[in-house]
């Protein structure tokens, strides 16, 4: 049995820059890291984010009246090639990761947009204003789209030996990855009297079908899964013998900053009933002890998914409800700061929700 006494590692604290965080962009700051680890982890995460995250895209289409991508369509301004190029830019959020289909039918003079497409229930279209084609008076555009999931880039999967398909299907090359760009910077940071530790800033831009937190979680899961197979014996429990340096504890977001962004500060202390959630989502949160909106916004998404019977569907419902008030998960707001702000700004807190009243 190995009784070697190992030296602990420095455990980094992760912090998303809240002021710039959106559904398609996020900046993650990880510090402090062991000297040299910033470049090592930054490179590994960047490569996986760009090449290994799953996504969905249109891989083939049937355009009525067209049997190849070089055809022209009567009553449609764009030719088949331009329509295909426009179709490649459709952004799809696949809720289940399963194949699916979508349909578009536009008759008469009109602009055919993504919002005109009817999709399977598990497919959600993100860029609804994106233009597919311009249909002239008397024109008729009918398209059936076939959606698949995958990683990275996939060339058009034309069946071997056939130039024209029996069903007139046109195959498209597809970029599945929802990640558009990833950059990172490494700076030096201080731990106590030592200034040689690393600070990693990772910037992630997606197409909006997945948010930066989701793609990072996926990427770390991929990396960890792959590295586990390099362990030749029992893992050394560095997480157990290491600890976060006290200097790097994340400070709560100042309530003053939040107020500048239109967040209804008095709402934070009210019960979650104010969000008008479904019975299932409401009961799951209440049973877990999440009774106030403040308690809810201080949860991270990962913590939310660990709540019993509270799945991804409920999480997305709550996210949408919070977003309507300018709130989100993981805000890390201090209750004392909220009450002090309300007092300083003479905001009435007579509706302040007390957990004891609910018991």
More reliable by pLDDT, 260 or 123: 123
**Band of residue 19 on the pLDDT scale cut at 50, 70, 90:** confident
**pTM score, whole prediction:** 0.65
User: What sign has the CA pseudo-torsion 302, 306, 311, 316?
Assistant: negative
Residue-wise pLDDT for 147-200, tens only, equals 999 999 999 998 887 767 778 899 999 999 999 999 999 998 877 767 788 999
Average of per-residue pLDDT across 270-284 = 88
**Band of residue 340 on the pLDDT scale cut at 50, 70, 90:** confident
H or E, element range at 82: helix 80-87
Instruction: Identify whether the C-beta of residue 298 lies closer than 8 Å to the C-beta of residue 333.
Output: yes
Mean pLDDT of the residues in the chain: 84
> What single-letter DSSP state applies at residue 272?
G
CA dist., res. 75 & res. 107, Å (int):
10
Instruction: Identify whether the C-beta of residue 170 lies closer than 8 Å to the C-beta of residue 80.
Output: yes
Q: Which residues pair with 119 in a beta bridge?
A: 102
Q: Alpha carbon of 255 to those of 40, 267, 310, 325, 346: distances in Å?
A: 36, 13, 28, 15, 14
Instruction: Give residue 10's Cα distance to chain centre.
Output: 28
Q: Report helix angle 212-228 to 37-51, nearest 10.
A: 110
Q: Token digits for 198?
A: 């690393």
The whole-number pLDDT of residue 221 equals 93
Residues 6+ apart with CB under 8 A from 110: 134, 135
Q: Which residues pair with 125 in a beta bridge?
A: 92
Q: Alpha carbon of 159 to those of 8, 57, 88, 285: distances in Å?
A: 56, 19, 20, 50
CA dist., res. 145 & res. 119, Å (int):
9
pLDDT of 336 > 80? The answer is no
Q: Alpha carbon of 281 to those of 217, 284, 290: distances in Å?
A: 23, 5, 11
> What single-letter DSSP state applies at residue 37?
H
Structural domains in the chain, sorted by start: 13-53+180-243 (3.30.1360.10), 54-175 (2.170.120.12), 255-358 (1.10.150.20)
Average of per-residue pLDDT across 298-323 = 85
Residue in the structure block whose two tokens are 């030592």: 194
**Band of residue 269 on the pLDDT scale cut at 50, 70, 90:** confident
H or E, element range at 214: helix 212-228
CB neighbour burial string for 143-163, b if at least 16 within 10 angstroms, e if fewer: bbbbbbbbeeeeeeeeeeeee
Q: Which of 2-11, 168-177, 205-214, 244-253 shows the lowest per-residue confidence on average (mean pLDDT)?
A: 244-253
With a pLDDT cut of 70, the percent of the chain lying above it is 87
- Tell me the H-state helices in 89-132: none
């Amino acid at each position: 049995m190995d009784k070697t006494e190992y030296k602990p590692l420095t455990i980094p604290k992760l912090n998303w820059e809240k002021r710039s965080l959106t559904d398609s962009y996020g900046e993650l700051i990880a510090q402090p890291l062991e000297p040299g680890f910033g470049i090592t982890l930054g490179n590994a995460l960047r490569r996986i984010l760009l090449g290994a995250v799953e996504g969905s895209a249109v891989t083939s289409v049937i355009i009525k009246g067209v049997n190849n991508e070089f055809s022209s369509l009567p009553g449609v301004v764009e030719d088949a090639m331009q329509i295909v190029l426009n179709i490649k830019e459709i952004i799809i959020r696949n809720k289940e990761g399963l194949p699916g289909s979508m349909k578009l039918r536009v008759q008469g003079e009109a602009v055919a947009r993504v919002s005109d497409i009817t999709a399977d229930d598990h497919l959600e279209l993100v860029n609804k204003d994106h233009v597919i084609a311009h249909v002239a008076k008397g024109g008729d555009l009918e398209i059936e789209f076939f959606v698949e999931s995958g990683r990275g880039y996939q060339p058009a999967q034309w069946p071997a030996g056939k130039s024209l398909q029996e069903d007139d299907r046109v195959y498209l090359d597809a970029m599945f990855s929802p990640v558009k760009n990833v950059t990172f910077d490494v700076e030096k940071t201080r731990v106590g009297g030592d200034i040689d530790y690393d600070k990693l800033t990772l910037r992630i831009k997606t197409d909006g079908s997945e948010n930066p937190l989701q793609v990072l979680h996926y990427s770390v899961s991929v990396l960890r899964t792959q590295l586990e197979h390099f362990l030749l014996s029992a893992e050394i429990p560095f997480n157990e013998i290491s600890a976060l340096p006290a200097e790097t504890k994340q400070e709560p977001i100042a309530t003053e900053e939040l107020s500048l962004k239109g967040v209804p500060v008095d709402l934070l202390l009210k019960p979650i009933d104010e969000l008008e959630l479904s019975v299932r989502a409401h009961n799951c949160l209440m049973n877990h002890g999440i009774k106030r909106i403040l308690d809810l916004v201080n949860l991270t998404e990962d913590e939310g998914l660990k709540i019993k019977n509270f799945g991804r569907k409920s999480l997305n419902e709550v996210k949408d409800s919070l977003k309507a008030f300018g709130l989100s998960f993981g805000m890390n707001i201090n209750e004392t700061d909220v009450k002090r702000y309300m007092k300083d700004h003479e905001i009435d807190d007579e509706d302040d929700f007390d957990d004891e009243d609910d018991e």
